[in-house]
Structure 1
Amino acid sequence: MPLDVPNLHTPGRKLYYAFDVNRAWIVQYAETYWDDYMGTDVEEVEDDAKISSAIYMLITRTGVSNMTFGLGLPNDTSAANGTTTVTDGRVTVPLITVCSSRRGSYLCRPTQAQFDRLEGIVGRRAHWWIDAEPDY
């Protein structure tokens, strides 16, 4: 998939190419497809486990093997999409990441067809996001 890394100065923070989602959306995704993938009752599972399971389900459906769940810094896009969250006093944006600006991740980015499948499921465009967690 052709993808240019933006020339942003982000000392100590990588960039993610990712979709911003709210936690409710990704939890609902896991609950919707739970019986197709898992052998336990979805009602017995906490939301964090559902989020991890949703990433597994999305990897399986799309082939985007480099996908992770991450947190980005809020911006105008997250404000417009209503995806900015506050957890333990920290303001972040939940992300379904496709790759990062780090060499190993960037070189393992998905094919265009895989990316298009994921974009169709999420229903919005991906953007570059600054990682909420510094590297140090």
Structure 2
Amino acid sequence: MDTLPKQFSSMSMSDAASRAPVRRSPRMTLPLPPDVDRNPRLQFYGVAVSEEWLRKYGEDHMILDGQKRNDLTLIFHAVNVLQRLTKIQDLAVEATSYDPVTFPDISPWDDGSVVVLAVCSTEWESYKCRPSQRKVDKLARLTGQTPKWWVDFNPPSYYM
């Protein structure tokens, strides 16, 4: 049978170019950190938050049914909610080294790291997919933190 059924006879193919383009917010203007060529460690752009803040945010945005949630569940939920509210698809939980001067109000994790909610990194694939300024501004408002570049807690050998 070489012919299409009758119900398909009125269909036509459309040219993809004739469709209206999908409007995307422009990527945020974000210069790479000045020492990116000299620093062997990956760097992340985002906001630093405490473990306590993440747990509390997760708890505040979870429907509690009388069950106690563990810390990991609350933290995962917090990141999930932030990702949904900001529409930052690649929001990642990364880590930077604790410094009491930089983080006077944040306690480090047991390994000496601090959580960074990263929107991109200095890796080219991540950097070129960075979100719009509007989305990053919303993340900053929700966390009460100013985004900046953070040096990765893990050494380069961690990724090999």
Partners of 1:107 and 1:121 in 2: CA distance:
24
CA contact under 8 A between 2:46 and 2:149: conserved in structure 1?
A: yes
**Aligned partner (choices 113, 128, 150) of residue 92 of structure 1:** 113
**Counterpart amino acid of residue 29 in structure 2:** P
CA distance in 2, matches of 1:42, 1:34: 11
Structure 2, gaps ≥5 residues long = 1-27
Q: Could you say which structure has the larger radius of gyration?
A: 2
**TM superposition score normalised by structure 1:** 0.84
CA contact (8 A) 2:51 2:109 kept: no
Aligned to 2:39: 10
Structure 2 SS opposite 1:116: helix
1:121 corresponds to:
142
Structure 1 outlier segments of 4+, above 2 Å: 40-45, 74-80
Change (3 A) 1:117 1:66: same
Aligned mates of 2:44, 2:86 — CA distance in 1: 18
Alignment map for 1:73-92 (pairs within 5 Å): 73-75=97-99, 78-80=102-104, 82-87=105-110, 90-92=111-113
Residues 1:32 and 2:60 are matched in the alignment: yes
Match of 1:59 in 2: 83
* 2:152 maps to 1:131: yes
- CA–CA separation in structure 2 for the residues paired with 1:23 and 1:29: 10
The higher relative CO (CA closer than 8 Å, separation ≥ 6) is in 1
Gaps of 5+ in 1: none
CA contact (8 A) 1:78 1:84 kept: no
Kindly indicate whether the alpha-carbon contact (under 8 Å) linking 2:44 and 2:118 is maintained by their aligned counterparts in 1.
Answer: yes
- RMSD of equivalent CA atoms: 1.9
Q: 1:67: Cα distance to partner?
A: 0.5
Q: 2:91, 2:115 → 1: CA distance?
A: 13
- Please give the per-residue CA displacement for 1:83-132, whole angstroms capped at 9, x wherever unaligned: 24040xx3211111111111111111111111111111011211111110
Number of residue pairs aligned between Structure 1 and Structure 2: 128
Kept after mapping to 2: 8 A contact 1:20/1:83: no
> One-letter code of the match for 2:124?
R
**Which secondary structure state, in structure 1, belongs to the residue aligned with residue 150 of structure 2?**
strand
- Greater strand proportion: 1
Superposition TM-score, scaled by structure 2 size: 0.72
Counterpart of 1:50 in structure 2 is 74
